[in-house]
Amino acid sequence: MDETSDGSPTEEWQPGRIPADLDATNLRILDVLREDGRISISALAQRVGISRANAYTRFEALRANGVIIRFTAQVDPVRAGLGVCALIFVTVRQQMWRQFRNQLALMPEVEYCAITTGQHDAMIQIRVRDVATVHHLVTHRLASIPAVKATETVFILDEVLRRPFILPSDERPLPAPQPAAETGPSPLGSMRFVRANAGRADLGGL
Amino acid sequence: MDETSDGSPTEEWQPGRIPADLDATNLRILDVLREDGRISISALAQRVGISRANAYTRFEALRANGVIIRFTAQVDPVRAGLGVCALIFVTVRQQMWRQFRNQLALMPEVEYCAITTGQHDAMIQIRVRDVATVHHLVTHRLASIPAVKATETVFILDEVLRRPFILPSDERPLPAPQPAAETGPSPLGSMRFVRANAGRADLGGL
DNA sequence: GTTGAAATTAGTACGAA
DNA sequence: TTCGTACTAATTTCAAC
C-alpha cells in the first residue's frame, strides 16, 4: 500500500497521473464487467474473490472516478438494420474545428469520430441502412458543412474484431509460439509512420 | 420454442433479411439499454411504456436473436492507463487472410479491426500505455506476421465522438436549419470515394 | 399482452477482525 | 480496508386474467 497521503475526497483526476487506484482487484472487476455488464454485485464479488461490501465500494468508486463511463448494450448493427458501415476521412478547414464538432453531434449516423495525425485530419465511422445513404451523407450533408474541406470514403467489408475495451492487464495468451528463425527483427521494410500535414499543429478551437 | 439440435436460438437469422421483429417498441428498448445497460426490467418496462412481462419477453428475445450481443461497461481508456491510441492501416498479403485474423486474435492491444476497401486492406485500432509501445508493436509484432505486407500508422489526438451503437430510429435532432440558398447540391467538389486496389476482390480464406 | 401474488435477490447498515 | 451478518426494499418469477 502506498502512503502518499492522498486524503482528497472523490480524488480529482489529473491528465498526467497514472491511476493508482487501479490495482489488480479493480482490473479483475473491469474484466468481469466487460463480458457481463449486467452481473449482480454479489456474483461479481464471488467471481473476483472479494466480499459483497468490498465489491460495492469498488464498483461505486470506479463509476465515481470516471473509469467506468457507463453501462451499455452491445448491438449487432446488421441485425439492427444498419448493414452498411463506412469510414470517412475528413480534411477540416483550419480554425473551424468547433463548427465541425458541433455539426457532427447533429449527425446520428456517426458512431465514432477521432482527430488523427497523418494525411487527413479526422476519421468518422458511420452506420447506415444502404450504400445510397452513404453517398448522400458524404456528398450532401458533409459537403454542406463549411468546416469540411475534403473527404475520402472507404467501405468496411467485414469487422474482424470488436472488443468493448482493453485493459492494461490484458496479456498475450500465447507467448509467440513461432519458430525462432522467424522471430527476429522485421523481415519487411515497409512499416510507415505518417506525420501530420504542415500547419496541422493548430487545432483551432478544439 | 422450436428445438433445433443444439438449442440454437429461435428463428434462424439470414443475412439478407430485414429484421421484422424490430418494431418501434424494441427500438425504444434498445435506446434505453444503450444509455443504461444495467437498468432493471421493471424500470425498463416503465420507461418504454409496456408491462413487465412484455419487457422480459422482448428483452430475452433480443438477446436470443443476437440483436443484443452482450452487455458491457464503457471504460475511459485514459483513466484505465491506456493513454495512447493509434490506427494502423495494413496491407495484407493475398490469401493469407486467415493467418492475419488468427494473429490479430492473439494481440490484446487491438480493440477493433475491420477489412476495408481503398488503398489498404484493413484498419486496426490499438490502445497502449505509451508511444514507444506503438512503435514496438508495429515494427516488431506486426512486422513479424507474414500476412502483413505493409502498414501505415496514424495517431489519434482526440476522440470527438464515441457512441455505443446507433439505431435506425435515430434521427437528426434538427432538420437542416440552414438558409435555403446553401442547401443545394454540394458546394465543394472534393468528395472522393476510394475503391479497392486491383485484385482486392479476392478475400482469400476470409 | 397485462396484472397481481409469492419467492428470491439486491442494496444498505451496522459491528468485528 | 476488508469481511460477515442482519434488515429493508426491490426485483424476478410464476400464476391467472
Predicted local distance difference test score (pLDDT) of residue A138: 97
Taking the stretch 48-67 of protein chain B, residues with Cβ within 7 Å of any atom in nucleic acid chain C are 50-54, 57-58
End-to-end CA distance of chain A: 39
* A9-18 pLDDT per residue, tens: 444 545 544 4
Select A84-155's CATH number: 3.30.470.20, 3.60.15.10, 3.30.70.920, 3.50.50.60: 3.30.70.920
Smallest Cα distance from B114 to chain A, Å: 4
| Among B38, B67, B108, beta carbon nearest to A71 | B38
CB B56 within 8 A of CB B3: no
Lowest mean pLDDT among A1-10, A145-154, A189-198: A1-10
pTM equals 0.85
Predicted local distance difference test score (pLDDT) of residue A18: 47
User: Would you place residue B196 in the very low, low, confident or very high pLDDT band (cuts 50, 70, 90)?
Assistant: confident
B143 touches chain A (CB under 8 A): yes
* C-alpha span between B67 and B26 (Å, rounded): 10
**Arithmetic mean of pLDDT, B77-90:** 97
Is pLDDT larger for residue B172 or for residue B7? Answer: B172
Chain B positions touching A88 (Cβ under 8 A) are none
Lowest mean pLDDT among B77-91, B131-145, B165-179: B165-179
How far is residue B131 CA from its own chain's centroid? Answer: 25
No. of H helices and E strands in chain B? 5, 6
B28 touches chain A (CB under 8 A): no
B41 touches strand C (CB under 7 A): no
In the three-class reduction of DSSP (H, G, I as helix; E, B as strand; rest coil), residue A172 is classed as coil
Name the CATH topology of B14-74.
Answer: Arc Repressor Mutant, subunit A (1.10.10)
* A103-159 pLDDT per residue, tens: 999 999 999 999 999 999 999 999 999 999 999 999 999 999 999 999 999 999 999
| Among A15, A164, A187, beta carbon nearest to B72 | A164
Check A73 against B203: CB less than 8 A apart. Answer: no
Smallest Cα distance from A29 to chain B, Å: 11
A61 touches strand D (CB under 7 A): no
CATH topology agreement for domains A14-74 and A84-155: no
* C-alpha span between B91 and A27 (Å, rounded): 34
Query: Does residue B164 carry a pLDDT above 80?
Result: yes
Check B192 against A139: CB less than 8 A apart. Answer: no
Tell me, what DSSP letter sits at residue A33?
Answer: H
Q: Which amino acid is at B6?
A: D
What are the C-alpha distances in Å from B1 to residues A100, B11, B58, B61, B95? 50, 9, 14, 11, 41
The whole-chain average pLDDT of chain B stands at 85
Which three cell numbers, joined as nine digits, stand for B27? 427500438
What are the C-alpha distances in Å from B104 to residues A126, A160, A175, B83, B111? 23, 9, 14, 21, 10
User: Would you place residue A196 in the very low, low, confident or very high pLDDT band (cuts 50, 70, 90)?
Assistant: confident
Query: Does residue B129 carry a pLDDT above 80?
Result: yes
Predicted local distance difference test score (pLDDT) of residue B28: 97
Judged by C1' against the alpha carbon of B55, the nearest nucleotide is C1
Predicted local distance difference test score (pLDDT) of residue B188: 57
User: Would you place residue B85 in the very low, low, confident or very high pLDDT band (cuts 50, 70, 90)?
Assistant: very high
What are the C-alpha distances in Å from A202 to residues A117, B57, B171? 12, 53, 33
Which three cell numbers, joined as nine digits, stand for B142? 506486426
Predicted local distance difference test score (pLDDT) of residue A3: 36
Ranges of each domain in chain B: 14-74, 84-155
* C-alpha span between B106 and A99 (Å, rounded): 40
